[in-house]
Amino acid sequence: MSDIEEFQSQRERLQSLMLEKADRNMKRFLNLDTQVYLDGALPAREKELIGLVSSLVLRCDDCINYHLVQCHKIGLKEEELVEALSVGLIVGGSITIPHIRRALDSWDQLEG
């Protein structure tokens, strides 16, 4: 199993656990977290890019991997991905570099 597949399998297991234990407010938040990325005034593709770079500047590898999987499904091109990550690098600084490295590694695995 590649790292990104391991991430997805682990995420699935823990997401089930969270849904099982979540109280009503937690469940409503999780629902909202799905709604907010759907097509609306802005297309889902732009929202995924926004979610991806927000996750990068906040430096959350799991969140980055999640949005990379979505971006890959949507058909984002690598040069678009790299430009989005470059914006995050300038906004967030060198502290984001280890996350960018791992994001590009995940992307390679998604591209297979």
**Residues making contact with a copy of itself (CB under 8 A):** 11, 14-15, 17-18, 21-26, 28-30, 32-33, 35-37, 40-42, 46-47, 49-51, 53-60, 62-63, 77-80, 82-98, 100-102, 104-105, 108
Between 4 and 49, CB nearer to a copy of itself:
49
Rounded CA separation 8/66 (Å): 8
* Closest separation in Å from C-beta 91 to a copy of itself: 5
Tokens of 73: 């499904």
Rounded CA separation 12/17 (Å): 9
Q: Which amino acid is at 97?
A: I
* Closest separation in Å from C-beta 74 to a copy of itself: 13
Between 47 and 110, CB nearer to a copy of itself:
47
Q: What phi-psi label fits residue 76: left (phi over 0), alpha (psi between -120 and 50 degrees) or beta?
A: beta
